[in-house]
Amino acid sequence: MEASLGQKQKLKQQEFTVSISQLSASSSGAPCSSALARFSIEPEGAQLRFHQELEPSDIIQVDIRTAQLFKLGHIESVCINEGSATNKEEESYSRGITIRFKVEDEGRAFHWAFEHWKNETVQVCAGGRLENGKVLTSKSKFDDKIEASSAKMYFHYYGQLLHQQNMLQDYVRTGTYYAAVIENRADFIGRVVVDVGAGSGILSLFAAQAGAKHVYAVEASEMVEYARRLIAGNPSLGQRITVIKGKVEEVELPEKADILISEPMGTLLINERMLESYVIARDRFLLPNGKMFPTNGRIHMAPFSDEYLYVEIANKALFWQQQNYYGIDLTALHGPAFQGYFSQPVVDAFDPRLLVAPVTSHAIDFTSVKEEELYEIEIPLSFIASVGTRVHGLACWFDVLFNGSSVQRWLTTAPGAPTTHWYQLRCVLSQPIYVMAGQEITGRLHMVAHNAQSYTMYLTMSAKMWGVGAEQGGTLQTSSCKLDLKEPYYRMAQPQPYAWAQDQHPQDAVGLSLAQQLSLNSGASLTQ
C-alpha cells in the first residue's frame, strides 16, 4: 500500500501517509485530505507534524507530550492536541484531528508509534539531552561494525533501479524465489512476514501473492520510495504490505513475524555481510519456530587447473617489467604488482571440467548460527586429486535451501548450472602446486570480516607426500595467498557450452568424472 511506514531511527523520523480532517474551535469541520504524518526528534523532544499534500506550506504541529490519541473505529482515530497552531498564525487552543487509515493494521502501527515516540520524549526530558541541545544517542550494531563510507556507497548502489533490474533479470534467482514461495503457500497463508532488505519489494509482493496476512518490507536505501510506488501499483497485494525505511538493526515493528524472507547472499554467499543483518532480524523479529526463506546455505569448494587464467593474471604485471618507461626503470615494482593482481578473487563463470578433485562443503544454518560466528569463518580443506596436473587455486560457489513445509527448493550458483549474477569465484595462487592422480591436497580457507562489509581471505593449499613413504606424512609443496573479497576481478567471459542430458542434475555437471562423489543435493530439487 502507498501508506508506508518509515520506521523510527535515533535522531531521524518515522512517516505515515494518512487522510485527515480538522475539528477545532475556529473551524467546525474540514473536508478530508491526504497528508504525511511525520514523527521526529527535536531538541525539545519528539514531535508529530501533519504535512498536507494540497497545501504543503500548511503544517499542523502536535506536541506529543500533551496530545492524546483515541480510536474511533477500525481505520479511524482522533488526536486531541492542546495548544497547537499551524504556521498560518491561527490561534487554536483545542484542536481535534481526525485521522483515517487505509487498513486496520496501519492504524494499529500508528497507535503503537504514537506511544513509542511519546515514551521517547519522556526519556529525552529525563536527561537524554546534551548541553549543546543535541539528543544523546548511541550507534546501532550496524554502525559499530561497518565503516560509514562503505555503508553510504552500499546503500547508494542498491538505491538505484538499474541495479535492482540486474537482480530481477537474473531469472534463476527471481524464479527460484517465486517458486519457493508460491509452492509453499501453506507456510504463508494468514501469516505475518518480514522482508529483510526488501529492495524493490518484489519478495514482499510474492509473499502477498502466497496469501500472507501482512508483510513488513524493511529497506534502508532510497529504493524504499520505488518499492512504495511498485507496491501501490499493485493495490490488491499492496493493502497487505507496509514499507518501512530503516536498518533491521534499528527499526521497530508492531508485531512479531511468522516468516522472514530475504535475499542476503553476496559473492561467495558472505560478501556484503548482509547475512549478519538477516540473523539479527531473526533474533529481533521472528517468533519461536518461525521459518526463514532461505533456511540455510552452503559454500562449495574444489581445486582447479586453468593455465589460461593464470597466465592472464600474471601478464597484467608485465607492464612493470619495463626498464625504460620514459627513461624510468619500473622493475622495482614488478613484484608488488604481481602479488597485487593475485590478491583479487576472480569472479566469472567457468567450465566445471576445470575442477580436479571432488568437492568439499561448508554449511551455515541461518536458523541457528550466531551473528558472531560470521565474523570469522575457517574451513579446513582436504581433497584427493583425480588427475595429475598443476593446481592453480581454489574454486568456490554456493547454494541456499528454502526449506518449505510442502517443497524444498535449492538456489544454486554452481559451475555448469544456469549462470546467475553471482557467477562463481576463484582464488588463484601466485605459485601453483603440482599433484599426481590420487595425491592428497590439504589446506585451509580462513575468512575474516572487515568493516568495509566484506572479508579478507587467507588461502593455503599443500600437496601431501605421495607414493612410497607417504604414510610418514609431510608435505611436498605449499602455496598461500591473501585476497580481499571486496575487490574482485570481474572476468565475465562465459565458459564454453557444456550441455548435459535432460535427466541429469545440474550439479552432476561439476566434473563428470567426480559426479558420484559430489554430495550436492541442489540439482535434484531444482529439477522438481
Distance between first and last Cα of the chain: 34
Whole-angstrom Cα distance, residue 47 to residue 27? 23
Residues 6+ apart with CB under 8 A from 71: 77, 107, 111
Residues 6+ apart with CB under 8 A from 5: 14, 15, 16, 106, 109, 113, 216, 242, 243, 244
Residues 6+ apart with CB under 8 A from 136: 128, 129, 130
Whether 39 and 48 have beta carbons less than 8 Å apart is answered as yes
Sheet holding 33-42, edge to edge: 59-63, 45-52, 33-42, 13-24, 94-100, 76-82, 68-71
Residues marked as catalytic: 170, 263, 272, 421
Q: State the amino acid at position 95 in one-letter form.
A: R
Of 487, 428, 481, nearest in space to 457 by CA: 481
Q: With the C-alpha atoms ordered 418, 419, 423, 427, is the resulting torsion angle positive or negative?
A: positive
Grid cell digits, residue 371: 551473528
Whole-angstrom Cα distance, residue 62 to residue 72? 19
Number of other residues whose CB lies within 10 A of the CB of residue 153: 13
Grid cell digits, residue 174: 527471481
